Structure 1
């Protein structure tokens, strides 16, 4: 977003919508987890569509549309176009909306065969051959990374837009935040295949603080060296199949992780 428009007005509150596509609803919970702060937020914005909170006006034109989930069905492919047309700013929230999410693991597989295996009446299921990000269908103005995102990200983005500035983009790697917090590296001390060297910060170093390795919930950071991390995993004795699985999780359709997944498979 190169040009931002101040949304906050003395006379009327900007309108906000929260839309769901193929997803687990986890990113929408970031709104509900605000608790009392969500009530205070409604003094600044008018939430006109958010089904989980009771507001149901999906076709209403809004200033800000937060969209969770990937595009996985023909109906969703059409609906996201309507959301884009009715939104001043469209913000993709979470790994599903930004990089396909867990459901994109089906891409390249025999989807009809899976459907027949799972559903008693597969003829009732309409599904696209792939699960894709919002940006592959419409213009996205901003992205909030995470699986799921956190409430602080939401508040920061809304506050920035209200005052006509671009929401902050945290591009630090998780490793940097680990060092700032004084946490010992789990890859060094426990020989764990941690993804922190290529993952964007934002989670508060949740897994390393529990002496667990990072699973890249927040997606790739800027200028990541996935080849170096693959080589380090090999030195730890991690098999190529497990390495590829590490990159092919929540953000498997992000370009950097998709390439790394294929590189690991070719080892």
Structure 2
């Protein structure tokens, strides 16, 4: 039987989530015996238009060219899986959406802005094409990627772990940094996947794996206010890596550029 075919595509991103593949090490070598990787520029394979069974996409849609290219990727793949925060919710580059001054930023940065072709807003992949599975994280977890590949190869739906980081902290026996240190931790509204890495080392979670299921973001924002954070600081907690995730965006906009003292308006 022919081996299932896989492609890994890059859009606007830092390549960090593609490294989740390369960092698999020996497991990647074992995987390459089970599948045929046809396109993966980071690893040296270049055939972006080839039809595949699974297409992994890293990065957001930031240019008109990328809007066209994602349509081709979707047409040439049986399953399309988004890798990481940029692909699932726009990533850090989507922060420019909040200002609404696309032309001003572009003109201030580039000497010849007329040659720069960008979309007015950065978009996640799912805004343009059907996505079969979203893998959150900045970057994604290597084991998470491998588990998704194996599940798809066996024809079953990959497990979508939407548990909160707080539950992972309990499993890891990590002391709550918000309760004990008063740190504005995003763990109560962020999905796990990182192994509660930051809280285990005494740092507050900053939400890099996106919103958990039924995230009570408004309640957490009020708790942050009780800890002494001013409105802009609260907004920055939600409007960061996953700023375009609806749960984070809705709450973050309430506090974004709100003068101190007006957060209850």
Question: TM class by shorter-chain length?
Answer: over 0.9
- Give the secondary-structure state (helix, strand or coil) at the position aligned to 1:16: strand
Higher relative contact order (CA closer than 8 Å, sequence separation 6+) = 1
| Residue in 2 that maps onto 1:217 | 208
Distance 1:36 1:176 in 2: 30
Which of 9, 25, 40 aligns to 1:50? It is 40
Deviations 1:130-187, CA, capped at 9 Å, x for gaps: 0011110000000001011011011100110111100111010000110121111000
Q: Please list every run of 5 or more consecutive structure 1 residues that lacks an aligned counterpart in the other structure.
A: 1-10
- Give the secondary-structure state (helix, strand or coil) at the position aligned to 1:154: helix
Distance 1:231 1:222 in 2: 19
- Give the secondary-structure state (helix, strand or coil) at the position aligned to 1:42: helix
Shift in Å, 1:118: 1.4
Deviations 1:179-216, CA, capped at 9 Å, x for gaps: 12111100011111000000000001111111000000
The reply to whether residue 97 of structure 1 matches residue 87 of structure 2 is: yes
Distance 2:252 2:218 in 1: 10
The reply to whether residue 117 of structure 1 matches residue 112 of structure 2 is: no
Deviations 1:8-42, CA, capped at 9 Å, x for gaps: xxx11100000000111110000111112211110
| Residue in 1 that maps onto 2:59 | 69
Distance 2:215 2:182 in 1: 21
- Which has the larger helix fraction? 2
| Residue in 2 that maps onto 1:208 | 199
The reply to whether residue 235 of structure 1 matches residue 226 of structure 2 is: yes
Aligned runs of 1:35-46 on 2, under 5 Å? Answer: 35-46=25-36
Shift in Å, 1:262: 1.4
| Residue in 2 that maps onto 1:17 | 7
| Residue in 1 that maps onto 2:72 | 82
Shift in Å, 1:264: 2.3
- Give the secondary-structure state (helix, strand or coil) at the position aligned to 1:230: helix
Give the TM-score normalised by structure 1: 0.95
Q: RMSD of the alignment, in Å?
A: 0.9
| Residue in 2 that maps onto 1:153 | 144
Aligned runs of 1:2-13 on 2, under 5 Å? Answer: 11-13=1-3
Aligned length: 257
Deviations 1:87-126, CA, capped at 9 Å, x for gaps: 0000011011110110010114211211122122212110
The reply to whether residue 264 of structure 1 matches residue 239 of structure 2 is: no
Aligned runs of 1:120-135 on 2, under 5 Å? Answer: 120-135=111-126
| Residue in 1 that maps onto 2:179 | 188
- Give the secondary-structure state (helix, strand or coil) at the position aligned to 1:197: helix
Deviates more, 1:185-194 or 1:113-122: 113-122
Q: Please list every run of 5 or more consecutive structure 2 residues that lacks an aligned counterpart in the other structure.
A: none
